[in-house]
Amino acid sequence: MTLPTAAISWLLSWQLPHQTLELVTAAALAALAVFVSYWTLWQIRRRFLNAPVEAQGKSVLITGRMSMPASMTYCMSKHASTSLADSLRRQYYDRGVHISTVEPGAYRTPMANHDTMAETLRKDLSLLPARVRSGISDHSLGSLRKSSDVLYSSIMRDDSQEAVNVMKSAVRDLVPKVYYRAGGLEDILLRRLYEVVPAEVTDEVVHMIRKVARAARRKA
């Protein structure tokens, strides 16, 4: 269903004002990217799921539940993976199969490097049609890059081994948990913000964090 939705959104976008055009086109591209990411994961799970079912073993998926600005496609794919894990666990609940998820959080890795992310953004923009690209101002791109740099730098942790250790536990535990989560106190609070607090409040908090990030960047 994702692919037709993306295609329809793409076609409709050409009939809309340029600001809405930018939004709808971004959503369509994101939907297509999620379709590719999620479909690949599902195909792997579908082909190899018989092994843990027959052996009453375990399956571990890397997922996430947070939705952050400037990471729409990544967050969408992680939400889809979470839903897949929850559905599989409930489907095979009485078959002795353990389905666990690992939510590693945010860590400073080469992939999350600011320069790398900026280069990825540049390449993605180059793939857009000229008409769509012309509706995205350099000022808005600069603001996005700056605020995202400060925002993600403030929540990223340095020791990625923490996430590796959690993944090891998910694989090795004789009685595995449903959810494994890496990180510290900040990560716990951030996850609670997304899980418990009303969405309207979460939106406002994230917006305020971005405003603070922009202000801090201007002073730097």
CATH of the domain at 204: 3.40.50.720
Please indicate, yes or no, if residue 28 is contained in any of the structural domains: no
Please indicate, yes or no, if residue 117 is contained in any of the structural domains: no
Based on the number of CB atoms within 10 Å of its own CB, is 64 exposed (0-12), middle (13-18) or buried (19 or more)? buried
Please indicate, yes or no, if residue 125 is contained in any of the structural domains: no
Q: What is the pTM of this model?
A: 0.64
pLDDT at position 139 is 75
Please indicate, yes or no, if residue 3 is contained in any of the structural domains: no
Identify whether the C-beta of residue 194 lies closer than 8 Å to the C-beta of residue 66. yes
Please indicate, yes or no, if residue 185 is contained in any of the structural domains: yes
pLDDT at position 105 is 82
pLDDT at position 179 is 92
Identify whether the C-beta of residue 88 lies closer than 8 Å to the C-beta of residue 75. no
Q: Which two tokens stand for residue 39?
A: 């479909």
Low-confidence ranges of the chain (pLDDT < 50): 1-25
**Residue closest to 26 by CA, chosen among 127, 113, 146:** 127
Rg (CA), the chain: 19
Please indicate, yes or no, if residue 7 is contained in any of the structural domains: no
Domain count, the chain: 1
Please indicate, yes or no, if residue 119 is contained in any of the structural domains: no
pLDDT at position 165 is 93
Domain that holds residue 56: 34-112+140-219
Identify whether the C-beta of residue 38 lies closer than 8 Å to the C-beta of residue 84. yes
pLDDT at position 149 is 72
